[in-house]
Amino acid sequence: MAKKRTISQKSSRPPVVVVLGHVDHGKTTLLDKIRKTNVVAKEFGGITQHIGAYQIKVKEREGERVKGITFIDTPGHAAFSEMRSRGAKVADLAVLVIAADEGVKPQTTESLKYIKKAKIPYLVAINKIDKPNIDLEWVKKDMAENDISVESQGGKIVSVLTSAKTGKGIDELLEMILLVAEMEEVRGDSKAKLEAVIIESKLDKRRGPLATILVRNGSLEVGNQIEADGAFAKIKAMFDANGQSIKLAGPSKPVEVLGFKTVPPIGSLVHQGVAQPRMKPKASIKRAEEIVAPSAEQPKPELAKKEKAEEGRLRLIIKADVNGSLEAILAGLPKDVEIIDSGVGEVNESDVLLADTTVAEIIAFNVKNSVKVKKLAVTEKVKISDYQVIYKLFEEVEEKVKKLMEPFAGEEILGQAEILKEFEIDKKRVAGCRVTEGEIKKTAKFHLQRGGELIGDCRIKSMKTGKEKIEGAKAGEEFGAILSPSLDFKIGDMLISYRKVEG
């Protein structure tokens, strides 16, 4: 009988290092140089938007044995504060990256708070020293004023001058990391009780739920039964940071795990040897009936849709590629937004139908939409907005909220007309209108408003009274108008003429 494969027990393990700092200060580029891979080129907008974990091998000095370091790369953009916080909680020590040409910035001080809260030691990498006209003394003074006192200024914090572009200082940084880890006595035991955490999770279209797990102590093996905050798995396969299949993962090893029944929450602890409890068939059927059976108190979809439309709030359904992105989006959206539903994975038909029922828009972040879903969205007149950079998502959502809250901010209202009738001429929809205020001119810009909610913007392509073409109409006068684009107007809607006002 073959001997069961195990990892040899060791008193020390590779330190887990979290890389923190302000957006665009070169965190990912620095790791890119260390890993000799090209992570940055794969990131939209030049910012990292997921947590990645990588283990490298380092030869400390000539003749000494090779040691490992596990890096956790965390996003620097303000939207990912929760992800940075979680990264610090699982690390042994941190590298705080500060750009030599910018000094301490908002996310730098925020990252420092997480480091102190996690009570872990840290080093400073003063990065981008290859840039012209930098003042290192000013940078160090700026750091000292922000409670980052480095050794060269009489403090206790180790600092290393680095250039992610040229590679200068990289070897010294790695050497200092190993030295600090040795001083901190970072220990691990492959035979100890499992200590592991979910640092990322997602729903893969082909492989199903996937989770990136960082093993801090003990070990994971293919075939293990594990559980993370109610998500159960029997590990079918594990992959390292290079996508290579592995059977066993010991202390400080980050692995992608296949075998979860559902997507586990990020930040949740992983427990070993926990099998998913079986639900009795009758209970399952009863629970399913409870979910499917409509409540007598619930309004019909048509009524609910009408009531929702009259509220005039921006309602969203959020779909993201991974839980980390979803968490950051939900945390960063304006308070005035109403979240109808959110989840990980592609936009599906159920999302579109729910959006139609609740008069919601769909936000899709780094996910693809099938042709079938796109066609259904067009049919149901549901808007799907695709984003790949989070700050652009926030900017556009804030603009939409502002438009709903203050639809005519920065505008002068020139005239209003109520749509009284709808008829068709030469297969084109014509809105029969009466001017209720001011004056309506054909050349003006218009908002189409329904019950206080902005439906869309348009112009008048053709304007007539009877068969006579006209250029405008005053209060009390009626006219027929063909709108461009052809918005889905209804009787009772208002056409509002406006012009932009500067200042």
The overall pTM is greater than 0.75: no
Taking Cα atoms as reference points, which of 13, 84, 90, 85 lies closest to residue 252? 13
Residue-wise pLDDT for 283-335, tens only, equals: 433 333 333 333 334 444 444 444 444 455 789 999 998 888 888 888 888 88
Taking Cα atoms as reference points, which of 360, 271, 357, 274 lies closest to residue 314? 360
Q: Assess whether pLDDT exceeds 90 at residue 220.
A: yes
Q: Which residue has the higher pLDDT, 350 or 418?
A: 418
Q: Assess whether pLDDT exceeds 60 at residue 186.
A: yes
> Which helix (H) or strand (E) is 494 found in, with range?
strand 494-500
Q: Assess whether pLDDT exceeds 90 at residue 39.
A: no
**Residue 292 and residue 302: Cα distance in Å, rounded?**
18
Residue 300: its pLDDT value, please?
42
Bridging pattern class, strands 245-246 and 208-217: unpaired
Taking Cα atoms as reference points, which of 457, 467, 365, 459 lies closest to residue 408? 457
Judged by average pLDDT, the poorest of 160-169, 219-228, 357-366, 394-403 is: 394-403
Q: Assess whether pLDDT exceeds 80 at residue 7.
A: no
| Beta strands in 350-444, from DSSP E residues, in sequence order | 361-365, 384-387, 411-425, 428-441
Amino acid (1-letter code) at residue 326: L
**Residue 228 and residue 245: Cα distance in Å, rounded?**
22
Residue 106: its pLDDT value, please?
86
User: In sequence order, what are the residues at sequence separation of 6 or more whose Cβ sits closer than 8 angstroms to the Cβ of residue 462?
Assistant: 469, 481, 482
CA–CA distance from 404 to each of 70, 309, 360, 440 (Å)?
A: 47, 12, 13, 23
Using pLDDT thresholds of 50, 70 and 90, give the confidence band for residue 83.
Answer: low
State the alpha helices, DSSP H only, in 192-345. 281-292, 301-311, 323-332
3-state class of 255 per DSSP?
strand
Judged by average pLDDT, the poorest of 13-17, 58-62, 215-219, 443-447 is: 58-62
Mean pLDDT of 212-227: 92
Judged by average pLDDT, the poorest of 2-16, 63-77, 385-399 is: 2-16
User: In sequence order, what are the residues at sequence separation of 6 or more whose Cβ sits closer than 8 angstroms to the Cβ of residue 500?
Assistant: 410, 411, 412
| Domains, in order of start, for the chain | 16-183 (3.40.50.300), 195-272 (2.40.30.10), 301-405 (3.40.50.10050), 411-500 (2.40.30.10)
Scanning the structure block, which residue is given the tokens 């082909």? 206
Using pLDDT thresholds of 50, 70 and 90, give the confidence band for residue 49.
Answer: low
